[in-house]
Structure 1
Amino acid sequence: MIIASKSPSGLRRPAMRAAVVAAIIFVIAHVVLLLGITTPDKLYFDEVHYVPAARQMLLPVLDGPILNPMHPPLAKQIIALSIKAFGDGPLGWRYPAALFGALALVAVYLGALALFASQERAVAAILLAFFNQMLFVQSRIAMLDIFALAFCLFAIAAFIHGFRQARPHAAFALAGLAAGLACACKWSGLFVLATCVAIVVVIRLMQGWRTRFADANAEDWYRPDLWPDFRLSHVIVCLVLIPAAAYLATFVPLYGLSFSDIIEAQRRIFADNTTTAIAGHTYMSSWPSWPFLVRPVWYLFEKVGDDRFAAIVFLGNPLVLWPALIALIVALQGWIVGRNRDAFLVLAFYLGPYLAWALLPRTLGFSYYYLPAATTASFVLVYALTRKGAPRWLLWAFVAVGCAGFIAMLPVTAAFVGTSMATFNRLMLFQSWI
């Protein structure tokens, strides 16, 4: 009898295909996100905080106190490199955002491929992440969130890949590295790292309690034989030491090897991000309202001609993100009733980065804090739309609806497109959106 086995070249073929598809996604997304990115040609919204901080990093000698000390330096360092390469103008300020927006979509593809083992579903997840509108807007402004998001999504993709392996060590180490870099852009990256740690802790606790499911199968989210050689020391290295080393290394260009200065920088970041003594803001909103798109943030609205306005609103696509709430219920049912591994993972990486905001004492919040959860909502949607028994056309019909909503909102999400007052009034469905 001849036993068939996969040759090394056969094993490499799916990886090569994934690499080619990822490269194509990156190139297309990169080009699309750069369209009209230099409009407006002045700093707008929070660029007024982050671009000056990036400029300061280019000075040969630090002049005065460090600007924007309430956030870690990595994203601002990347913006500074772009200013040095492309000049101190709109392209130099915003090019890194477009670059990392494209990388974020590549990470969505890799994460969806690890989840669903399907090119079709992975491509659909990318399109839904793009059409949700939040990633598009945030990829065209010199803020910190898109950098943290891209690293978070790579961490999620690596962790999901490792979750399925008997030996997850390398994948979890990569997840820790990416999560550490996300934290070095913005502390909200901690939420994804904490989600990874929480998943490992829950699995290990259940294994310690010798938990077993009746009628167990390979699709269960928990198995007593999961990761037999992944020990506590490996957890500490992959999900504590590696992220901490990656995070702290980004402070060395600013503070050198001064341990006391680096520790003081952490104290300042902690104080600024946990304080409740912050004045209100016109566009502030609380975390329970974000999935319902109650209060967007207007980044730009200015007159540029007779009945022509340049407008940029950070508002999720209702045709994508409102149905995502129904998809969450479907995924919850799949996890609790069906014990489905994919349902468990999509729920974890949606709810973890979102519900963590409920634990913070900080009262000032904005809807763009919802960006990571809104992006991983694409995984939830793909899971719900492709569950067993769902017609194949349903997924692509939904993608088409999401695309229509994205196109309809372009006049108020891309300043170079522009809008008239009539179009503006037609698109603003609720008074709270204004």
Structure 2
Amino acid sequence: MLSAPERSPDPLMPTLALVWLFLALALWQIQVPSIAYFDEVHYLPAARSMLEGGVWLNSEHPPLGKIILAIGIALFGDTPLGWRIFPALFSGLALFAFSRALWEASRSRFATLAYTWLLGTGFFLLVHARIAMLDGIMVGFFAVALWQCARAVRAPEEGRKRLIIAGLALGAAMATKWNAAPLAVVPGLTFFVVRLMAGRRRLLLSRRGGPVPGVSLLEAALWLGLLPLAVYAASFAPLLWASENPFGDRGLVAIQAMMLEMQQSVKEPHNYQSTWHQWLLNLRGIWYLYEEVDGAQRGVLLIGNPLTMLVGLAAVLWTGWAAVRHKRMDALAVYLLFILSLGFWIFAAKPIQFYYHYFLPSCFLLAALALALDELRDRGWPKVSYGVLVASAALFAFFFPILTAMRLKASGSFLTWAWIDGWR
């Protein structure tokens, strides 16, 4: 990033336009279905119980996401709008923040706008913007953390402020869902490695050198290490007002051990479970909804965009090559984030896994694709770059009815979109 040239003007306004378009689609008929569906049946009772100061439900997950769902219910009523408004807003925030992170890393206007387009039409973000699950909220917080870290490197004069915001966002992401935890250590670890490679005599206290000149390693440990942990710990404060505490008199550390045990205890096979091999090839989807509701047959299918999920794999390999061959730091960052976010699930001691665990890796895969399309465009292949963007939008439009629970013609309509057995 430090060596990336100033290549093009900031695409802030067109990025905002694309984000507002995405939010309009996410909020369109968000009250449909009017019933709780898929994992809403777990998270909504937990949010309601928090509002009532009652039993601490869904205790295998941290509390912040459910607190945010509860705030939505308090502000907009115990209705589908109240359930889903904050997942929609946080998903829009994720789209904006990821785009700004790539802009700070690459300084490429085309790559940034391509990424906004690809992420918005990549299926994952829209589906989770319209359901009261924790994933969209978690990804929103984590995207903000990456954006602020990238901005701290790009503009060291803002470094301290940006790292503080990043630390707050990292803590909030972990306090929403543990999926963010493996990547939450990456900013602090990166800071340490860069300073260590610089060979400073005063490793802990020196403020010279990258990644953020003016901030010592000791201070970075405060903002990127202790602050996220403090935010995470503070999220458990509602336990003080719960009428029944499922953790008993356990301390905070013991609570985490109990939560981990609960996460690993689900071993009964599930019809929708899948593996990371299937995620990579987009082979196993999840029907979040498929039933007659609100006077019509409706469905919500979670799969990745059939085009970009596959060509993005080649783009990920290219980012690894570009990082080594051309020392592209933006490509290196995207490549490592994809490998680390996917690698966690390869080795995680969670016996039953699902395609929605690929949410974060898919975001980095699409960032790799945006960088690769930018490279193709620069090398004289603009038709290929724009063709992928047009095809991504066309597939998004075709699948839109079963991404948003639109009215379908009949009970067998799902076959229109269920192209392979793993999507049925």
Q: TM-score normalized by structure 2?
A: 0.87
Partner of 2:236: 251
Q: What secondary structure, in the 3-state scheme, does the structure 2 residue paired with 1:318 have?
A: coil
**1:203 CA displacement:** 2.2
Partner of 1:164: 154
Q: Which amino acid aligns with 2:283?
A: V
Q: Which moved more, 1:81-90 or 1:112-121?
A: 112-121
**1:411 CA displacement:** 2.5
How many equivalent residue pairs? 402
CA distance in 1, matches of 2:222, 2:290: 47
Alignment of 1:46-65 (within 5 A): 46-59=39-52, 61-62=53-54, 65=55
Q: What secondary structure, in the 3-state scheme, does the structure 1 residue paired with 2:185 have?
A: helix
User: Is 1:190 the equivalent of 2:175?
Assistant: no
CA distance in 2, matches of 1:240, 1:305: 47
Q: 1:311 aligns with which of 284, 289, 299?
A: 299
CA distance in 1, matches of 2:279, 2:371: 22
CA distance in 2, matches of 1:180, 1:256: 22
Partner of 2:333: 345
User: Is 1:429 the equivalent of 2:412?
Assistant: no
CA distance in 2, matches of 1:73, 1:252: 9
CA distance in 1, matches of 2:258, 2:337: 28
CA distance in 2, matches of 1:67, 1:235: 35
Q: Which amino acid aligns with 2:415?
A: N
Partner of 1:112: 102
Q: What secondary structure, in the 3-state scheme, does the structure 2 residue paired with 1:428 have?
A: coil
Partner of 1:321: 309
In structure 2, do the counterparts of structure 1 residues 419 and 335 end up closer, same or farther at CA, with 3 Å as the change threshold?
farther
Structure 1 residues 280-323: Cα deviation after superposition (integer angstroms, max 9, x where no partner)? 111011123212111111111113599x6201111111111111
Q: Which moved more, 1:50-59 or 1:118-127?
A: 118-127
Q: 1:242 aligns with which of 227, 250, 256?
A: 227
Partner of 1:217: none
Q: 1:124 aligns with which of 110, 114, 117?
A: 114
Alignment of 1:256-335 (within 5 A): 260-273=250-263, 275=264, 278-303=267-292, 309-335=297-323
CA distance in 2, matches of 1:96, 1:165: 30
Alignment of 1:25-174 (within 5 A): 25-59=18-52, 61-62=53-54, 65-166=55-156, 168-174=159-165
Structure 1 residues 152-189: Cα deviation after superposition (integer angstroms, max 9, x where no partner)? 11111112222334564433332222111100100111
In structure 2, do the counterparts of structure 1 residues 358 and 320 end up closer, same or farther at CA, with 3 Å as the change threshold?
same
Alignment of 1:1-40 (within 5 A): 18=12, 23-40=16-33
**1:192 CA displacement:** 2.3
Asked if the contact 1:148–1:185 (Cα under 8 Å) also holds between the matched residues in 2, the reply is yes
CA distance in 1, matches of 2:110, 2:324: 26
CA distance in 2, matches of 1:239, 1:410: 39
Structure 1 residues 117-139: Cα deviation after superposition (integer angstroms, max 9, x where no partner)? 23433222111001110111011
Q: Which moved more, 1:260-269 or 1:238-247?
A: 260-269
Q: Which amino acid aligns with 2:38?
A: F
Q: 2:194 aligns with which of 194, 203, 213?
A: 203
CA distance in 1, matches of 2:219, 2:118: 35
Asked if the contact 1:310–1:416 (Cα under 8 Å) also holds between the matched residues in 2, the reply is yes
**1:23 CA displacement:** 4.9
**1:197 CA displacement:** 3.0
In structure 2, do the counterparts of structure 1 residues 85 and 423 end up closer, same or farther at CA, with 3 Å as the change threshold?
same
User: Is 1:394 the equivalent of 2:384?
Assistant: yes
RMSD: 2.7
Partner of 1:220: none
CA distance in 1, matches of 2:235, 2:188: 22
Partner of 2:216: 231
Q: Which moved more, 1:118-127 or 1:248-257?
A: 248-257
Q: What secondary structure, in the 3-state scheme, does the structure 2 residue paired with 1:371 have?
A: helix
Asked if the contact 2:15–2:113 (Cα under 8 Å) also holds between the matched residues in 1, the reply is no
Asked if the contact 2:124–2:359 (Cα under 8 Å) also holds between the matched residues in 1, the reply is yes
User: Is 1:416 the equivalent of 2:416?
Assistant: no
**1:28 CA displacement:** 3.1
CA distance in 2, matches of 1:235, 1:256: 34
**1:224 CA displacement:** 7.4
**1:374 CA displacement:** 0.8
Structure 2: tracts of 5 or more residues without a match: 1-8, 202-207, 243-247
Asked if the contact 1:25–1:105 (Cα under 8 Å) also holds between the matched residues in 2, the reply is no
CA distance in 1, matches of 2:343, 2:314: 17
Structure 1: tracts of 5 or more residues without a match: 1-13, 211-222
In structure 2, do the counterparts of structure 1 residues 393 and 67 end up closer, same or farther at CA, with 3 Å as the change threshold?
same
Q: Which moved more, 1:388-397 or 1:356-365?
A: 388-397
Asked if the contact 1:411–1:419 (Cα under 8 Å) also holds between the matched residues in 2, the reply is no
**1:256 CA displacement:** 6.4
Q: What secondary structure, in the 3-state scheme, does the structure 1 residue paired with 2:45 have?
A: helix
**1:68 CA displacement:** 0.4
Q: What secondary structure, in the 3-state scheme, does the structure 2 residue paired with 1:280 have?
A: coil
Percentage identity across paired residues of the two chains: 29
Q: Which amino acid aligns with 2:107?
A: A
CA distance in 1, matches of 2:413, 2:116: 28
**1:376 CA displacement:** 2.3
Partner of 2:4: none
Q: What secondary structure, in the 3-state scheme, does the structure 2 residue paired with 1:408 have?
A: helix
Q: Which moved more, 1:174-183 or 1:156-165?
A: 156-165
